[in-house]
Structure 1
Amino acid sequence: MAAPFASSSRPEPKTLVEDSSEEDGAKAQTSPKTGLETKSPAQRDALRKRHSSQPAEKDQTGLDLPPPVQEGTAGPSQGAAQKAPLLDDPEAGDADDDDSSGAPSPYVSRRPEEYLRSQQREPPAAAPRWLTEIYTISYLIFFSLLGTLARLGMQWLTFYPGSPIVTPVIWANFAGCVLMGFLSEDQALFRDEWSTVAQGGEKPGHMTEMEATNKAERNKRKKIIPLYIGLAVGFCGSFTSFSSFARDSFLALSNDLPTPVNHPGDLASGSPTTTSAVPRPDGYSFEAWAAIVIATLALALGGLMVGAHIALALESLTPRIPKRLTRRFIDPLIVFLAWASWLGAVLLAIWPPDRPSGPSSHGSWANETWRGQALFALVFAPLGCLLRFYASLKLNGLVPSFPLGTFAVNMLGTAVEGMCFDIQHVGVGVMGRVGGGRVGCQVLQGVQDGFCGCLTTVSTWAAEIHGLKRRHGYMYAAASVLAALCLMVVIMGSVRWSVGWSSPVCNTGYTNKILG
């Protein structure tokens, strides 16, 4: 009886699978002992080396067989089944990775931003801070020159006989606000800064992934791009001028605002001037001041919204500016163009090529008008633009509900504008020449059009009014207008109503245009 009992209680050892059935494979993996466990450690090491050097065994189908699983370990399918969270388990997606190391988490347990992060390309390395600073300054210099020329050209074009609005700077302020509204609302020009471009059959510039940041975050990123700073702060800020608006509003109040020659009777009276005006009651002077203020504010805020609507309407047609092209080609080129242009303006102002005393001149000193109208303004324009940029950068964040930096530069530019206007229209020096002579008058006009015109801005002012809360926006707008009026009354009014003004000896930008 002992033999049958012993044979029934001790099962025969199993060998490797000879059949491809799942049942025999499971029995072979759960055998009590393997050949390696019955040998000494040295023999087991030798067998392991021999098996590792031999090619993998193949089954009847010709496929490689997986290595035998040692006791205490689980196969790939078994481990994945034990460690992967269930799709129906609501808490499976929030489980920590400590319990599931070695097994990838299922797609449904990953948040959308985690999935997109793995799909995004690595952004190119950012430029050093000092290099970005040089690019920004160069863009500001270059676009301040262009903005000044655009403003002077717009004033000349819009001051003509029969003009319904006699302050020409209002159209420059409107055009600058339209461009500022477009740049603020546009999401296509600089889309390379926060998105990747489609690949394959998609159209170039098409956004291929869900945007990871909202509009406010994109605007923050956009405001640190040197090219955007050059366009918004440099060009738009220099294209518009708060000091010229404040000067014209006071001239309307004092009945000294230059107006075009409108009627034939003006020509019959002798030599017509743009500064001659008939007396009027004080009530009409207040109406004239209010008309300048209301028209400027309405056109500035309206232009800002028009520009934003244009950006939305043309979003699908607006091309993108490639980041690689900007960083490798445009940024270094602007450094050369900006400083060379500014230096060229300075040299031409010092040594103009067509002096009346020179060999190539065919006229008199009265014909030398272009230097005072443009060159001196270009000499002083970058200084005002850079001062406005850094003052706003340092002061605007001090009071969130009141942009102190923009307010400060607008008031400073208005004060300098009033002082230069007074000196330009009174006798100066021992000789008592008005404005200090022709060159002195031209330099003062260059300070007004260049330094003060670029130091002050209407485009940024209108954008800040629109961006603030309603109560804060009204307070900011009213404070700016009233403070500018008070400064002009004190600075310009004290001279106008005491010693009076004389006609300047140089061209101040208000041409007669008698022939149309």
Structure 2
Amino acid sequence: MIGDAKDVISQQHTSELQRQENVSIPIYSKNHKRSTNFLNAISIPLLIDVNYLVIFSFSGVVTRYYLEVAFTRSDKQIKTDLYSVFFQDIYANIIGCFVMGFLAEYNTKILITHKLSRLSNLFTVGLMTGFCGCTTTFSAWQYDSMYALVHGEVATFFFREVLGLCLCYCFLVLGHDLAAMLATLQLYFFQPNCDNGEETTTIKFLWRVFIGLLFACNVGLTILFIVLLCTVPDASLKGLFASLLFAPFGCMLRYYFSILNTKYSPKIPAFTLSANFIGVVLSGFVRITNERYSSIHDNIAVKVLFLGMSAGFCGSLSTVSSFIEEIKTKIADVKWRYVYIITTFVSSCLVLLVILGSFVWTA
């Protein structure tokens, strides 16, 4: 049984890479005939993609928020410590990268090899794209690092950059290794499913019911967040609910950017780089605008809006877990790997140097 399973792994090596993380797993069986109707061909896959991205982006933002509360907040205010090498989202980035590494390896060794149900594929891809991508945030990491630099803390800047990269990479590798060990054990208990991908009428019906329930859950949660945003008096919780409302848009934009990597950028994930760069630029402008506005006005609604855009949209658009996973597994050429890393960091630092520097040095 073990030998047969390993043969299946070897034969599907190419397709495995294409199914990792942000690449949508097909929801149709091999013999399924797609509708010729344009709206059906577009709306059904889009509806399913949006469904699982939204629900898991919610969970990612909540995880990031409460990790900040647990480790880097005091009296409900974010600590701004220029001398600490631990920026506010380092714990969220570490945990997100660990889960990403585990799921990427597990998705390759178990889910794809044994052709488990579409629900399992949906759950795994949703976790990798929605949860991990929204738990980790590249824009906040770079903002905190450059915030130290423009205030003259050069050593803190370098420590935050190097420590953040090294810890995230180490925990991603740890996740890969743990999943590989578990996959080896599970090969003793799983018999590869060699069916032809056919689905019974009952399974198809249950699948449609599940997607409908998931859609209703997302709509209900969105309405709940809007109500809580308008009624909860605590400013910190208002910021959380605003972030939850903005997060799915950043997550979906990053998801569709990532699909373009395979088509148009085979050497380096240029569209992931673009997502991180856009997230950094927007986050820098939004946070500086919030600083300027807060010094003049005391409108809580505007502050919450800025926080939702920064932590929700920009934080979910930019990602560390995808960035580290691509460095480890998706760029085979070492030269292009370093080009990708250097370009990502240098472009982000330079644009934030202009944005933050113009605010701090002219204040």
What is the CA-CA distance between 1:190 and the residue it aligns to? 5.9
Q: Percent identity?
A: 24
What is the CA-CA distance between 1:329 and the residue it aligns to? 5.7
Letter matched to residue 175 of structure 1 = I
2:117 counterpart of 1:254: no
Structural mapping, 1:201-280, within 5 Å: 225-255=121-151
What is the CA-CA distance between 1:289 and the residue it aligns to? 0.9
Identify which of 155, 162, 169 aligns with 2:68: 155
- Retained in 2: the 8 A contact 1:135–1:334? no
Q: Secondary structure at the match of 2:263?
A: coil
Please, which runs of 5 or more residues in structure 2 have no aligned partner? 1-6, 9-28, 35-40, 194-198
Letter matched to residue 213 of structure 2 = L
For the structure 1 residues 348 and 125, does the alpha-carbon distance in structure 2 shift closer, same or farther, using more than 3 Å as the test?
A: farther
2:358 counterpart of 1:497: no
Aligned twin of 1:176: 96
- Retained in 1: the 8 A contact 2:86–2:160? no
Provide the C-alpha distance between the structure 1 equivalents of 2:104 and 2:360, rounded to a whole number of angstroms.
Answer: 41
For the structure 1 residues 304 and 241, does the alpha-carbon distance in structure 2 shift closer, same or farther, using more than 3 Å as the test?
A: same
What is the CA-CA distance between 1:485 and the residue it aligns to? 0.4
Identify which of 263, 280, 291 aligns with 1:414: 280
Identify which of 271, 280, 296 aligns with 1:433: 296
Structural mapping, 1:254-403, within 5 Å: 254-255=150-151, 282=152, 285-315=153-183, 316=185, 327=207, 330-349=210-229, 351-352=230-231, 354=232, 368-395=234-261, 397-403=263-269
- Retained in 1: the 8 A contact 2:109–2:180? no
- Retained in 2: the 8 A contact 1:236–1:459? yes
For the structure 1 residues 313 and 195, does the alpha-carbon distance in structure 2 shift closer, same or farther, using more than 3 Å as the test?
A: closer
**In angstroms, what is the RMSD of aligned CA positions?**
3.3
Q: Secondary structure at the match of 1:426?
A: helix
For the structure 1 residues 160 and 440, does the alpha-carbon distance in structure 2 shift closer, same or farther, using more than 3 Å as the test?
A: closer
2:358 counterpart of 1:485: no
For the structure 1 residues 463 and 497, does the alpha-carbon distance in structure 2 shift closer, same or farther, using more than 3 Å as the test?
A: same
Provide the C-alpha distance between the structure 1 equivalents of 2:46 and 2:115, rounded to a whole number of angstroms.
Answer: 26
Please, which runs of 5 or more residues in structure 1 have no aligned partner? 1-111, 114-122, 198-204, 206-220, 256-281, 356-367, 500-516
Task: List per-residue Cα deviations over 1:173-205 (Å, max 9, x = no partner).
Answer: 1110111111111158963x55479xxxxxxx9
Identify which of 461, 465, 477 aligns with 2:327: 465
Task: List per-residue Cα deviations over 1:69-94 (Å, max 9, x = no partner).
Answer: xxxxxxxxxxxxxxxxxxxxxxxxxx
Letter matched to residue 301 of structure 2 = V
Provide the C-alpha distance between the structure 1 equivalents of 2:237 and 2:316, rounded to a whole number of angstroms.
Answer: 18
- Retained in 2: the 8 A contact 1:396–1:402? no
Task: List per-residue Cα deviations over 1:263-313 (Å, max 9, x = no partner).
Answer: xxxxxxxxxxxxxxxxxxx4xx22111101101110111111011011012
Task: List per-residue Cα deviations over 1:342-379 (Å, max 9, x = no partner).
Answer: 23223332x31x55xxxxxxxxxxxx224433111111
- Retained in 2: the 8 A contact 1:177–1:462? yes
For the structure 1 residues 437 and 464, does the alpha-carbon distance in structure 2 shift closer, same or farther, using more than 3 Å as the test?
A: same
Bigger Cα displacement from structure 2, 460-469 vs 155-164: 155-164
For the structure 1 residues 329 and 300, does the alpha-carbon distance in structure 2 shift closer, same or farther, using more than 3 Å as the test?
A: farther
- TM-score normalized by structure 1? 0.54
For the structure 1 residues 415 and 127, does the alpha-carbon distance in structure 2 shift closer, same or farther, using more than 3 Å as the test?
A: farther
- Retained in 2: the 8 A contact 1:155–1:168? yes
Provide the C-alpha distance between the structure 1 equivalents of 2:186 and 2:262, rounded to a whole number of angstroms.
Answer: 34
2:105 counterpart of 1:185: yes
- Retained in 2: the 8 A contact 1:139–1:338? no
- TM-score normalized by structure 2? 0.75
Provide the C-alpha distance between the structure 2 equivalents of 1:157 and 1:408, rounded to a whole number of angstroms.
Answer: 31
Q: How many residues align?
A: 308
What is the CA-CA distance between 1:240 and the residue it aligns to? 0.4
Letter matched to residue 433 of structure 1 = I
Report which of the two structures shows the higher radius of gyration computed on alpha carbons: 1
Provide the C-alpha distance between the structure 2 equivalents of 1:187 and 1:437, rounded to a whole number of angstroms.
Answer: 46
What is the CA-CA distance between 1:433 and the residue it aligns to? 2.4
Aligned twin of 1:36: none
Letter matched to residue 414 of structure 1 = V
Aligned twin of 1:143: 56
- Retained in 2: the 8 A contact 1:396–1:406? no
Provide the C-alpha distance between the structure 1 equivalents of 2:358 and 2:149, rounded to a whole number of angstroms.
Answer: 14
Provide the C-alpha distance between the structure 2 equivalents of 1:336 and 1:126, rounded to a whole number of angstroms.
Answer: 26
What is the CA-CA distance between 1:138 and the residue it aligns to? 0.5
Task: List per-residue Cα deviations over 1:128-185 (Å, max 9, x = no partner).
Answer: 6543331111000111111001011111112268997531201111110111111111
Task: List per-residue Cα deviations over 1:235-285 (Å, max 9, x = no partner).
Answer: 110010000011011112123xxxxxxxxxxxxxxxxxxxxxxxxxx4xx2
Letter matched to residue 320 of structure 2 = V
Provide the C-alpha distance between the structure 2 equivalents of 1:479 and 1:299, rounded to a whole number of angstroms.
Answer: 20
For the structure 1 residues 232 and 441, does the alpha-carbon distance in structure 2 shift closer, same or farther, using more than 3 Å as the test?
A: same
- Retained in 2: the 8 A contact 1:140–1:386? yes
- Retained in 2: the 8 A contact 1:141–1:339? no
Provide the C-alpha distance between the structure 1 equivalents of 2:254 and 2:209, rounded to a whole number of angstroms.
Answer: 27
For the structure 1 residues 330 and 483, does the alpha-carbon distance in structure 2 shift closer, same or farther, using more than 3 Å as the test?
A: same
Letter matched to residue 241 of structure 1 = T
- Retained in 1: the 8 A contact 2:97–2:169? yes
Provide the C-alpha distance between the structure 1 equivalents of 2:313 and 2:217, rounded to a whole number of angstroms.
Answer: 20
- Retained in 2: the 8 A contact 1:135–1:226? no
Letter matched to residue 456 of structure 1 = S
Q: Name whichever structure is richer in helix by fraction.
A: 2
Aligned twin of 1:358: none
